[in-house]
Each structure stands twice: as C-alpha cells, then as structure tokens.
Amino acid sequence: MTQDSALLQAPETDLRDGSNNRKVFIKTYGCQMNVYDSTRMSDALARDGYEPTENMEEADLVLLNTCHIREKAAEKVYSALGRLRDMKKERNREGREFMIGVAGCVAQAEGEEILRRVPAVDVVIGPQTYHRLPEALRKAKEGQRIVDTEYALEDKFEHLPIAESKKIRSRGVTSFLTVQEGCDKFCTFCVVPYTRGSEVSRPVSQIVEEAQKLVEGGVREITLLGQNVNAWHGVGANGQEWTLGDLLYRLAEIPGLARLRYTTSHPRDMDDRLIEAHRDLRALMPYLHLPVQAGSDRILKAMNRRHTAAEYLMLVERIRTARPDIALSGDFIVGFPGETDQDFEDTLRLVEEVRYAQAFSFKYSTRPGTPGAELKDQVPEEIKAKRLERLQALLLKQQQEFAGSCVGKTIELLLEKPGRMPGQLIGRSPWLQSVNVDAKELQIGDIINVRITGTGTNSLFAEIAEAEV
C-alpha cells in the first residue's frame, strides 16, 4: 500500500476533432485508492483529448496523485515539484506546452501553500473534486492558477466517466472499485479524516453498474476500496438498509465475476452480515486485512481505536470460526507516544496469538494537525527502531510459516500477467500471494487448479494440477 507507481494505460485517440492528442503522465503515490483515483482521472481527461503515457519526458501534463499517510510526504512532493519546475522552464524555452498538477491528500492538506512554494504548479485539486479536473485545466490554460480543495456537494462519481470495455480490457483482469471514502474514526495518529473528509458511501446502483462494466471489459476479480470499507452502507434494491456484507452478496450474483476482495477494514465495523458473507460466498476470497495497530489496551485508547486487544482477538475467533481457511493481515505502529516496554510486549503477544499471513509495520511518526502530534512522551528513535526490528522479525517468521503451510496444497489460481521466464504466468492465490506457474497453453484471465510446490522470498511456485480443489 505504500509503493509508488506510475499509471500505465493504453492510448485513446481523440475522436472529437481528429487532432493529435496531448499526453498526460500520472505518478501515483500511496494506497490502492489513489491507484483507482488515477485511473478515473485518466478516463476523465481522455474526453479532453489526453492520452496517458508512461514516459514523463513526452508528457504535456504531469499529475502527481499524492498520499499524506507516510512521514515527510509533503517534502517528497515538493522535491518532485522542483524537478518538474525545471522541466517546465526548459519546455517554455522550446515553446512547448507543459502543465503541472498536484492531486490527492497532500494537495488537500497543503492547498495554496503549494502554489506559494512552487509557482510553476498550474492546478492543485483535492480527492473530492477530481471530476472538476478537466475544467480546472481549461481555466489554467487561460492563465488562472487553480486550487480546488473544497469538499464537493455533488457526487464526484456521478460525473467521472467509466472507461469503455476495450480500455478496461487493456488494464488487466483485476480491478479496484471504490465504494466508500473518508473516515469518522479520528485515530489520533491518522491524517485521513482531515484530507479525505467524513465517511461517504456510494449508492448500490452506482457500484453495481461499475462492477458490471468492469466484468464486461474482462475483469474477473474486483477489490472494493474504502478508507473504512466495511463502514459502507446504502439502500438496497429491496428498500432495506444494506451493509458491506449485503453488497458483497449482490456483487457475487454478477455473471463472470469470479473473485471479490475488500480493503481496508476497521474492527469496529466488522458486523455479523459481513462475517456471514465470508462463510457463504465462494467468490469472496479467504483473505482479510484487519488492522489492529497495537496490542496494548492503554496504547489503543491513546490511539482512539475504541476497541481492546481482547475484543479484537474475539473478533478474529468469530471470523475464523465462520471461515477456517481465512488468512489475516494487519497494520502495526510501534513507538506511539508513551509506549512502554510492556506495551510493546503486549503487541508481540497479540501477534503470536493471531498469527498473521502478512502485515505492514511502521515506526510512529507525527502528522501535523493530528492529536498524536501534540502528545508528550515521544519515544526515542533508537527505541522505536529496535522495537520495529523485533516486530518485523516475528511477522516475517509468521509469513514464511504460512507460505510453507501452502506447499502441497491444490488451489485455484487466477492468472494475471506474464512471468519473467518464457511460458511462465503469474497469478494470485486466494490468500493474495503471488504464484508462479509454467502455463504455456493457458491465457491471462484463466482460473486453474495448481499444486503449490515451493516458496520464494515473496512468492510461491506451482505446477498445474488436474485434481479438483
């Protein structure tokens, strides 16, 4: 969730006037929601004649879709903008168009400050106003410098176009689909409520329509996204209030949609209906990202998580009772202000009890504007580093043990992309592991039975199996 990525998409010609299209390069920082947002912005810009490119040097427009969740995020963006400013000067000397836009959570947090520090920037636009990006760029071409970070009253998803099937097909057989945005939890370490706003759920009909179009375009696996995805709620076709579990039951009815996933969840929103969906739906993969952050009740209270370690463990037990083969991943923060050696040992004990298949772990770092930044008793960096090393060693051991337990199993594998070796394809296991298999006669998008034969550093190896799963 922290890996930077450039959005690579197939070109689309401008059918309006036959002119040569301008080109846009989108650099996407951070989480899957930003990847999804970049895709939707690219689709919106295509209407104005912008072709996506993977080569920044040939772009007429560069968009930085930023993330504010990690330390020094704003500084990294300003460093990138310094390089883009120099590119713009060179383009101007050549008489060529070159525009710079900043989108995402850093744009929301910094706003006018971006224009003050980097006058070369043309547009600053927040996560809730992406549908207004084409208009903002038109105004910028007329000489205005645009900052649009107000929380829009209108639903941006009603205005953002969904790509045609041929374009969806060019992007692969898996896709993200945002169903919920924002956060009302206000964990004291987190900036999301201040950059993404309060929790908002997309309507059922809108989600189902987009999912159906993705499947028509060849998508076989959809991952539902939200800052608190299991806080999603809406009115279903039966007029009843639905939660995420109900939505998953509805999406599982779409012909051709083979797999469903969702991320990221909050333990407080894991209700009975969602647990039942894990029990009942073959399409819902047995993998759940369920962040806990810490194993100490004192630290959980200071973080405003509003659950205890015991409540989290009881929830895990309920989930595993419903779906015994489920694999869990989590998020952990070490060195939160006031964390003692005993608090940290409580976290290690929780990890030992849960046994995670994957996990993300970080040293605490302050986020300006969050309550955690004002807390006293900050933990020294050297102590945080030692604790993180111990935690990551334990988590890596559990990940390796889980991978080892898969050897000999026959599983269903969705083939997603070519491997490094001739004839090799790579897919994802039900538990989200990367799996390499020699599959010369098969195609991307096939779902096949494979037997796991070995483990690598970050992947599994398999051979085609004839036996039923």
CATH number at residue 258: 3.30.750.210
Q: Enter the pTM of the model.
A: 0.86
Q: Which residues of 271-298 are buried (b: 16+ CB within 10 A; e: fewer)?
A: eeebbbbbeebebbbbbbbbbbbbbbbe
Question: For 30-44, 154-168, 259-273, 421-435, which range has the lowest pLDDT when averaged over its residues?
Answer: 154-168
pLDDT greater than 90 at residue 146: no
Instruction: Assess if residue 325 is contained within a domain.
Output: no
User: Nearest CA to 202 among 245, 244, 150, 264?
Assistant: 244
pLDDT greater than 80 at residue 4: no
The per-residue pLDDT for 238 is 86
- Bridge partners (DSSP) of residue 5 are 28
What is the average per-residue pLDDT within 442-466?
94
Clarify whether residues 166 and 140 are in a common domain.
Answer: no
Q: What percent of the chain has pLDDT over 70?
A: 93
Instruction: Assess if residue 312 is contained within a domain.
Output: no
Instruction: Assess if residue 319 is contained within a domain.
Output: no
Q: How far apart are the C-alpha atoms of 71 and 274, rounded to whole Å?
A: 33
- Point out the annotated binding site: 31, 67, 105, 183, 187, 190
* Residue indicated by tokens 């849960």: 354
* Confidence grade of residue 13 (pLDDT, cut at 50, 70, 90): very low
Clarify whether residues 113 and 246 are in a common domain.
Answer: no
Clarify whether residues 23 and 137 are in a common domain.
Answer: yes
Domain boundary among 225, 252, 285: 285
Clarify whether residues 125 and 233 are in a common domain.
Answer: no
Clarify whether residues 132 and 61 are in a common domain.
Answer: yes
Domain count, the chain: 3
Clarify whether residues 20 and 103 are in a common domain.
Answer: yes
Beta carbons within 8 Å of 342's beta carbon, 6+ residues apart: 296
User: Nearest CA to 438 among 423, 453, 454, 420?
Assistant: 423
pLDDT greater than 50 at residue 9: no
CATH number at residue 128: 3.40.50.12160
pLDDT greater than 70 at residue 414: yes
Q: How far apart are the C-alpha atoms of 51 and 124, rounded to whole Å?
A: 21
Clarify whether residues 127 and 188 are in a common domain.
Answer: no
Clarify whether residues 105 and 186 are in a common domain.
Answer: no
Instruction: Assess if residue 38 is contained within a domain.
Output: yes
* Residue indicated by tokens 């036959």: 18
Question: For 2-16, 58-72, 244-258, 447-461, which range has the lowest pLDDT when averaged over its residues?
Answer: 2-16
Residue 305 has which token pair? 């998580």
pLDDT greater than 60 at residue 167: yes
Domain boundary among 269, 285, 301: 285
Rg (CA), the chain: 23
> What single-letter DSSP state applies at residue 469?
-
- Point out the annotated binding site for [4Fe-4S] cluster: 31, 67, 105, 183, 187, 190
Q: How far apart are the C-alpha atoms of 8 and 27, rounded to whole Å?
A: 10
Q: Which domain holds residue 262?
A: 162-285
CATH number at residue 429: 2.40.50.140
Question: For 137-141, 179-183, 319-323, 371-375, which range has the lowest pLDDT when averaged over its residues?
Answer: 371-375
The per-residue pLDDT for 254 is 98
Residue 402 has which token pair? 């889980």
User: With contact defined as beta carbons under 8 Å apart, do 379 and 337 qualify?
Assistant: yes
* Residue 80 CA neighbour count, 13 Å, CB half: 22
Clarify whether residues 141 and 179 are in a common domain.
Answer: no
pLDDT greater than 90 at residue 149: no
Instruction: Assess if residue 281 is contained within a domain.
Output: yes
Residue 458 has which token pair? 């970050």
pLDDT greater than 80 at residue 157: no
What is the average per-residue pLDDT within 89-93?
92
**pLDDT greater at residue 83 or residue 131:** 83
User: Nearest CA to 287 among 447, 433, 449?
Assistant: 433
Instruction: Assess if residue 375 is contained within a domain.
Output: no
The per-residue pLDDT for 469 is 43
Clarify whether residues 143 and 166 are in a common domain.
Answer: no
Distances (CA, A) of 127 to 68, 74, 156: 12, 16, 9
**pLDDT greater at residue 20 or residue 34:** 34
Q: What is the pLDDT of residues 39-86, one digit of tens each?
A: 989 988 988 889 999 999 999 999 999 987 766 778 889 999 999 999
pLDDT greater than 90 at residue 130: no
pLDDT greater than 80 at residue 161: no
User: With contact defined as beta carbons under 8 Å apart, do 294 and 189 qualify?
Assistant: no
Which segment, 73-82, 147-156, 185-194, 270-279, is predicted with the most confidence on average? 270-279
Domain boundary among 97, 117, 148: 148
What is the average per-residue pLDDT within 171-181?
93
Question: For 67-71, 94-98, 264-268, 424-428, which range has the lowest pLDDT when averaged over its residues?
Answer: 67-71
User: With contact defined as beta carbons under 8 Å apart, do 352 and 313 qualify?
Assistant: no
Mean pLDDT, the chain, whole residue set = 90
The per-residue pLDDT for 402 is 98
What SS3 class is residue 40?
helix
Q: What is the pLDDT of residues 304-325, one digit of tens each?
A: 999 999 999 999 999 999 999 9
Clarify whether residues 51 and 80 are in a common domain.
Answer: yes
In sign, the C-alpha dihedral spanning 210, 34, 292, 393 is: positive
The per-residue pLDDT for 452 is 98
pLDDT greater than 80 at residue 257: yes
* Confidence grade of residue 152 (pLDDT, cut at 50, 70, 90): low
What is the average per-residue pLDDT within 1-12?
34
